[in-house]
Amino acid sequence: MTAQTESVISQFDVIAASDPQVAEIIRLEQQRQDDTLELIASENHTSPAVMAATGSCMTNKYCEGYVGKRYYSGCALYDDVERLAIERVTKLFGCKYANVQPHSGANANTAAFVATLEPGDTFSSIVLSEGGHLTHGSPVNISGKWFKPVHYPLVYDQARDDFGHIDYDAVLEVCKQHKPKLLICGYSAYPRTIDFAKFREAADSCGAVLMADIAHIAGLVAAGVHPSPFPHCDIVTTTTHKTLRGPRGGLIMTNDEELSKKIDRAVFPGIQGGPLMHVVAAKAVAFGEALNPGFKTYCQKIVTNAAALAKALMDLGYTLTSRGTDNHLMVMDFRKSHPDLTGKIAALWLEQAGIITSKSTIPQDDRSPFQTSGVRLGTPALTTRGLGEADMAVVADLIHRVISSGGDETQLAQILEEVRSVAQRFPMPH
Ligand SMILES: *Cc1c(COP(=O)(O)O)cnc(C)c1O
């Protein structure tokens, strides 16, 4: 039994004594996580220390305001923990200012918009269906309802017959033509390295504020296995729960004092009330973990595992967008290998076999975001559990057998058993 399972069990005892119904749901969820292979690129398994801080007494306190400037009494220890989180994260990313209060990545982005734009202002980003994020101008999100997005396209690469790469010339063109006040780079389904210096050139051509949303790659950036958005970008937003392996939450960083003041005002009182201080404490724990040398090794393994998984899948005849990956994620494009298969169905079959993924639109997808022609895979969670490069060939083979089964229930049930035995060889972090 791992320490994590033990600590969860002692938490169960406390919850079960007062609420057996919720305790049972949590117990089953722990079992689900233990028995399945987690390949959702935006998920991870946090340490027991991060979970314990999230479950601590620090959930009880109101701390509206910032360090040394709170609206309520009794905040001294909360100042200590927020200061610690800020000190650690600015060291981790090599920047001057950080706001650790955003409740989520979406809130971090909304705050960055509020800090830099007026309603109706133009900004530029990649569209959701090509790997961007809901908060980068989707018509159903505040970013698209209250502000005006102009999207820069991906480039067609004839040699690879692929639309998977950022078209830096087009970014520059869009900036010259539309003069956005804010230019966003950073994505949810982009498997390649981002050239922040090229984005700086484009932003400078029209005087735009340059924002990197490194929600997915934050851990890789912190570990130095993806180039840093600093000093090129003015604002850097991120989640803390993806490759960074902290509690669910958001974070905003900058080197510009004026911008940092605007960002602080935008987070509170602009869009949020009291910060989630138990989560801020857990962020401090996670940033401390990320400053340990072991975190760099972990992130290097995420990337080598992703490269191994991508190669194994391509060797099996699958097409990946951009024809591979540089980071932690890849997107399978079924249009050539399985023209009738949607991402929705593939993800469903995979789930029936205990392999957890997310359907994903691919560049130039003619299917809706509810169907899609692709599935996105990532290696952060499997790497946390200790799977290595050799295991990636096994995972690719399991995926291949699921897709080849055509959804046959008997075959899926057999693969589920194998997945469970692979998963059980790699216990949760402890
Ligand atoms: C995940 C993600 C977010 C949003 O994070 P939430 O915590 O879910 O709100 C924002 N931007 C990008 C690029 C993301 O991938």
Of 200, 242, 367, 385, which residue is the catalytic one?
A: 242
64 is catalytic: yes
- The CA distance from 414 to 355, in Å, is 13
CA-based angle 29:32:36, to the nearest 5? 150
Q: 3-state class of 51 per DSSP? A: helix
- Is 366 in the active site? no
Preceding amide of 269 cis, omega within 30: yes
Could you report the per-residue pLDDT of 324-366, keeping only the tens digit for each?
999 999 999 999 999 999 999 999 999 999 999 999 999 999 9
Q: What is the pLDDT of residue 4?
A: 55
At residue 241, the pLDDT reads 98
Mean pLDDT for 375-380 is 98
**Residue located via tokens 């909304």:** 110
Residue 11 has pLDDT above 90, yes or no: no
Strand partners, 212: 185, 236
Is 61 a residue whose pLDDT tops 90? Answer: yes
Under the banding of pLDDT at 50, 70 and 90, the label for residue 382 is: very high
Can you tell me which atom of ligand 1 is nearest the CA of 242?
A: 1
Residue 211's pLDDT is: 98
Q: With a 6 A CB cut-off, is 105 part of the ligand 1 pocket?
A: yes
Structural tokens at position 254:
């900058």
Mutational test site, ligand 1, from 104, 239, 240, max ligand atoms within 8 Å of CB: 239
Query: How far is it, in rounded angstroms, from Cα 293 to Cα 311?
Result: 28
Tokens of 349: 């079959």
Q: How many CB atoms lie within 10 A of CB 49?
A: 15
Cβ count within 10 A of residue 360 = 26
Does the active-site annotation cover 192? no
What integer pLDDT is reported at residue 7 of this predicted model?
A: 60
CATH of segment(s) 57-290: 3.40.640.10
Tokens of 96: 């001057």
d(CA 342, CA 335): 9
pLDDT digit string (tens) for 282-293?
A: 999 999 999 999
Residue 240 CA to ligand 1 centre (angstroms): 10
Q: Which of ligand 1's atoms lies nearest the C-alpha of 250? A: 7
Structure-block tokens of residue 409: 């229930």
Regarding the beta carbon of 376 and ligand 1, being less than 6 Å apart is answered: no
Cβ(124)–Cβ(174) under 8 Å?
yes
Dihedral angle computed from the Cα positions of residues 201, 205, 208 and 209, in that order, rounded to the nearest 10 degrees: 20
Pocket of ligand 1 contains residue 213 by CB under 6 Å = yes
pLDDT at residue 2 greater than cutoff 80: no
Q: Which residue has its alpha carbon closest to ligand 1 atom 5?
A: 105
**Which one of 133, 211, 251, 358 would you pick to mutate in the ligand 1 pocket, going by the greatest count of ligand atoms within 8 A of its CB?**
133
Q: Does domain 293-425 have CATH number 3.90.1150.10?
A: yes
Q: How far is the CA of 132 from the centre of ligand 1 (A)?
A: 10
DSSP state of 427: P
Percent of the chain with pLDDT over 70: 98
Closest residue to atom 15 of ligand 1, CA basis: 188
Q: Is the CB–ligand 1 distance for residue 343 below 6 Å?
A: no
Is residue 294 within 8 Å of residue 362, measured between CB atoms? no
- 43 burial level (CB within 10 Å; 0-12, 13-18, 19+): middle
The token duo for 255 is 């080197």
Question: Which residues, other chains included, contact 102 with Cβ-Cβ below 8 Å and sequence gap of 6+?
Answer: 108, 111, 237, 249, 250, 251, 252, 267, 272
Q: Is 135 in the pocket of ligand 1 (CB under 6 A)?
A: yes
Q: Where in the chain is the domain with CATH 3.40.640.10?
A: 57-290
pLDDT, tens digit (0-9, with 9 covering 90-100), for 130-163: 999 999 999 999 999 999 999 999 988 888 888 8
Which one of 213, 289, 326, 333 is the catalytic residue? 213
Task: Quote the pTM value.
Answer: 0.96
Beta bridge partners of 222: none
Q: Is 242 a catalytic residue?
A: yes
Cβ of 141 below 6 Å from ligand 1: no
**Cα separation, 119 vs 180, whole angstroms:** 13
Give CATH 3.90.1150.10 domain extents, the chain.
Answer: 293-425
Judge whether 248 counts as a catalytic residue: yes
Q: How far is the CA of 401 from the centre of ligand 1 (A)?
A: 31
Positive or negative: CA dihedral 386, 392, 396, 397: negative
Q: Pick the closest to residue 174 from 156, 195, 139, 149 (CA basis).
A: 149
Catalytic-role residue among 239, 243, 357, 372: 239
Quick one: pLDDT at residue 5? 57
* Nearest C-alpha neighbor of 183 from the set 163, 198, 165, 162: 198
Task: Decide whether any atom of ligand 1 lies within 6 Å of the 358 Cβ.
Answer: no
For the chain, the average pLDDT equals 96
Alpha carbon distance, N-terminus to C-terminus of the chain: 10
Closest ligand 1 atom to 104 CA: 7
Cα separation of 415 and 421, whole Å?
Answer: 10
